[in-house]
Chains A and B, each alone.
Chain A
Amino acid sequence: MSTRDDMLTRIAAALEGADRIPPPQREYGATTPLPDIAATFVERVEDYRAVVERVAPDGIPAAVAAALSLATRVVIPPGLPREWVATLESVDGVEVVADQGDLSSDELDRFDSVVTAAAVGIAVTGTIVLDHGPDQGRRALSLVPDVHVCVVHESQLVGDVPESIAPLRDAVDAGRPLTWISGPSATSDIELERVEGVHGPRTLHVLLVGTDHPLPPA
């Protein structure tokens, strides 16, 4: 008998006579009403010591350039709106490369920054979810560079975790990975003291785009 069949037989034997418990009666996907969903999102993302700015749609290029004022080599996903990095690209000494899927890990390691969009923002937990669509790129892009600028639209915000699954379902069904990001990488492994910045990007800079929030004067 194969190990597979043996294990399945053992399980069936272990459950002989056991009550077969049905799935719970649960209202999945319940909404969490919040008085100001964007304000909660900003507050909770800041709690993780990430940088958050609220910008108007036409303020994205300037905000991206300002967030990456120290950058020299920036990688972007193939489907990122190119105008988002137009101001940044006009700066002398800054190189912006759109990933075509052929950069090795070592080559990616020579970029200092990455700009991506996002799929979902979860307000209560201050979480950004990437579903790695064309404007977010493959997973290595938003992992290897040390600074991650992530553009989230207010229309992508949900209240809490239960509401976040439905908008991610199509990507998972299409076989795409997900990356849930809550602040910069961190560890509490030394005396439970939180240190931000281990292997993932040490700086997470979130631009929350909404119509009633013009970019404050620079």
Chain B
Amino acid sequence: MSGTFIGMPKFQTAAKEALGNSQQRRNLQHATGTIRRKRAGVVDELDNWDELRQAGAAIKDNVLSHLDTYLVQLEESLTQAGATVHWAADAEEANRIVTSLVRATGAEEVVKVKSMATQEIGLNEALEVAGINAWETDLAELIVQLGHDKPSHILVPAIHRNRAEIREIFLREMGQVGTPPPTGLTSNPRELAEAARVHLREKFLRAKVAISGANFAIAETGTLVVVESEGNGRMCLTLPETLISVVGIEKVLPTLEDLEVFMQLLPRSSTGERMNPYTSTWTGITPGDGPQDVHVVLLDNGRTDALADQVGRQALRCIRCSACLNVCPVYQRVGGHAYGSVYPGPIGAILNPQLRGTTSDVDQSLPYASSLCGACGDVCPVNIEIPELLVHLRTRVVDEHRGGIPSGEQIAMKGAAWMFSDHRRWEKAQKGAELSGRALGKKDTIGRLPGPLSAWSDARDAPTPPAESFRSWWKREKGDPR
């Protein structure tokens, strides 16, 4: 069983720990650098990239503002095509539906296509409680699952692991749940991929039930689309008898033609390829081809809350490409785990507080997990204004804490406002700072402050005050201006 994100500390606390992991920082630096270069190369090939992004945003805005209409249409098309449609208000309901569907088949195991929605609802853990083994079949997901680890990237969940670590996990864990790796396995990626191929083939061939998500769901035809690379998706979507797909309600596209926009935007933004190796589409049941028992679970789980926020709803345009993670200077250093969710990085910082609400420490802290440099907004293939949304959510978090007992930060800010409002108070404060600067001597930064002040200093390296302020220097050199 993989680790979960339940009870995560706030971002700043988790980030501090992650920053101490120099191996992870090196792995991330290397991996995000590689994928950034690839993306930039294939995006530059298209003259009409901006036009495509605008079209992607416009199609999604059209969908979101008519979501009820399109969902009913999707349900009709799917039903017409022989699929059974289920509606799930939250994670618990979705897990209950999927578990009972699997139980009805009598199967004790399922194979899984990589799916953010099923991770979001903790489906594997729910199935495990019900005595059903869920085998992840995407290579990176397999690494995370075998390593009893947590995903740290949307596209490459094991991005924080290097080849030597992966080899160790395979040698230690694979044999306990199926075909073991060959003896003499090295850390060559080709050999590691081959070990995964052999390990999983046995599971693909015997699986009776598969579980997937969907990248897109086409309302007009009832067609679901899964975009992937390895062929594990094709195996799961084709060989079993029963297929259950958990689909977020924001995944709807109106028509088949809309794929022309997203099948250009997604691969280039995501893996930095002109096209991903495999894309599968299926429309309910096809007699004689693939699963003959097809279910689709339409998942809300906070999406209607995000939809109700007229500024925040644009986060629901997200197509889970992870380009914003790869360019983010914060993500690149702290990695994905600190975000306390399967959605890390800039998109996670705006999506999680909207899907889960801002009651927990981690969700309140996420809008602050950014330097607001804007790189994420620039690469987003559906033009989500991530920096603006971060500021919007910061306002929401602050507004929710107005009234009641003021926080230390609020008291400090009130004090600062009082000090700045009169130059005599400001100059007095600077005198104090000069003294403390001299007292701190040669240290460049202020370390951990005592007591409640540590809340401020723990996530920030503030420079020590100079021994002489500009105003003092000016007065000494040029005389008193007044």
Which of A's residues lie within 8 Å of B, judged by CB? 2-4, 6-8, 10-15, 18-24, 26, 28-29, 44, 47-48, 101, 105-106, 109, 122, 124-127, 132, 138-140, 143-144, 160-162, 164-165, 168-169, 172-173, 175-193, 195, 197-201
Q: Given that A8-B72, A24-B59, A200-B278 are known contacts, is A29 also in contact with B260, CB under 8 Å in the complex?
A: yes
Contact B58 A140 (CB under 8 A): no
**Residues of chain A lying within 8 A (CB to CB) of residue B235:** 143, 199-200
Give chain B interface residues in 158-188, CB to chain A under 8 Å.
Answer: 158-159, 162-163, 166
Contact A198 B231 (CB under 8 A): yes
**Closest chain B CB from A159 CB (angstroms):** 12
* Chain B residue at minimal CB-CB distance from A169: B256
Question: Which of A160, A169, A200 contacts B277 (CB under 8 A)?
Answer: A200
Contact A183 B277 (CB under 8 A): yes
B230 at the interface (CB under 8 A from A): yes
Contact A200 B230 (CB under 8 A): yes
Contact A189 B231 (CB under 8 A): no
B154 at the interface (CB under 8 A from A): no
**Closest chain B CB from A218 CB (angstroms):** 30
Contact A126 B274 (CB under 8 A): yes
Contact A175 B30 (CB under 8 A): no
**Residues of chain A lying within 8 A (CB to CB) of residue B88:** 3
Contact B158 A195 (CB under 8 A): no
Please, how many angstroms separate the alpha-carbon atoms of A67 and B89 in the complex? 52
Q: Given that A2-B87, A19-B65, A23-B254 are known contacts, is A199 also in contact with B260, CB under 8 Å in the complex?
A: no
Contact B87 A14 (CB under 8 A): no
Question: Which of A8, A126, A188, A193 contacts B229 (CB under 8 A)?
Answer: A188
Contact B281 A177 (CB under 8 A): yes
Q: Given that A28-B260, A198-B193, A199-B197 are known contacts, is A21 also in contact with B55, CB under 8 Å in the complex?
A: no
**Closest chain A CB from B438 CB (angstroms):** 49
A-B CB contact pairs (8 Å), 29 listed: A3-B89, A10-B300, A11-B304, A14-B304, A23-B62, A23-B254, A24-B62, A101-B288, A105-B204, A109-B205, A138-B288, A143-B235, A161-B259, A164-B260, A172-B281, A175-B283, A175-B284, A179-B280, A181-B277, A182-B278, A186-B229, A190-B189, A190-B193, A191-B31, A192-B30, A195-B189, A198-B229, A199-B201, A199-B231
Which of B's residues lie within 8 Å of A, judged by CB? 27, 30-31, 34-35, 54-55, 58-59, 61-62, 64-68, 71-72, 81, 87-89, 93, 137-140, 143, 156, 158-159, 162-163, 166, 189-190, 192-194, 196-197, 200-201, 204-205, 221, 223, 229-232, 234-235, 237-239, 249, 254, 256-257, 259-261, 263-264, 267, 271, 273-286, 288-290, 298, 300, 304-305, 307-308, 310, 313
Contact A185 B229 (CB under 8 A): yes
Please, how many angstroms separate the alpha-carbon atoms of A23 and B197 in the complex? 43
Question: Which of A10, A132, A144, A193 contacts B189 (CB under 8 A)?
Answer: A193
Contact A199 B290 (CB under 8 A): no
Contact A15 B65 (CB under 8 A): yes
**Residues of chain B lying within 8 A (CB to CB) of residue A3:** 87-89, 93
Please, how many angstroms separate the alpha-carbon atoms of A90 and B183 in the complex? 40
Among A106, A126, A175, A199, which residue has the most Cβ atoms of chain B within 10 A? A199
Contact B304 A10 (CB under 8 A): yes
Contact B66 A20 (CB under 8 A): yes
Contact A189 B221 (CB under 8 A): no
Contact A187 B307 (CB under 8 A): no
Contact B275 A182 (CB under 8 A): yes
Please, how many angstroms separate the alpha-carbon atoms of A7 and B278 in the complex? 33
Contact B307 A15 (CB under 8 A): yes
Question: Which of A26, A139, A160 contacts B290 (CB under 8 A)?
Answer: A139
**Residues of chain B lying within 8 A (CB to CB) of residue A161:** 259-260, 263-264
**Residues of chain A lying within 8 A (CB to CB) of residue B263:** 161, 180
Contact A11 B290 (CB under 8 A): no
Contact B257 A182 (CB under 8 A): no
**Closest chain A CB from B207 CB (angstroms):** 9
Contact A189 B158 (CB under 8 A): yes
Contact A143 B231 (CB under 8 A): yes
Please, how many angstroms separate the alpha-carbon atoms of A217 and B156 in the complex? 45
Q: Given that A2-B87, A14-B308, A15-B68 are known contacts, is A138 also in contact with B289, CB under 8 Å in the complex?
A: yes
Please, how many angstroms separate the alpha-carbon atoms of A67 and B158 in the complex? 37
Known contacts A3-B88, A101-B288, A180-B263, then 15 further A-B pairs from the complex at CB < 8 Å, ordered by chain A residue: A4-B87, A20-B65, A132-B289, A161-B259, A165-B257, A172-B256, A175-B81, A186-B277, A189-B156, A189-B158, A190-B189, A191-B30, A192-B30, A192-B31, A192-B156
Contact B62 A14 (CB under 8 A): no
* Chain B residue at minimal CB-CB distance from A9: B68
Contact B271 A188 (CB under 8 A): yes
Contact B282 A177 (CB under 8 A): yes
Contact B143 A189 (CB under 8 A): yes
Please, how many angstroms separate the alpha-carbon atoms of A15 and B239 in the complex? 40
Contact B68 A177 (CB under 8 A): no
**Closest chain A CB from B418 CB (angstroms):** 41
**Residues of chain A lying within 8 A (CB to CB) of residue B280:** 139, 177-180
Contact B278 A180 (CB under 8 A): yes
Contact B221 A105 (CB under 8 A): no
**Residues of chain B lying within 8 A (CB to CB) of residue A162:** 260
Please, how many angstroms separate the alpha-carbon atoms of A192 and B310 in the complex? 37
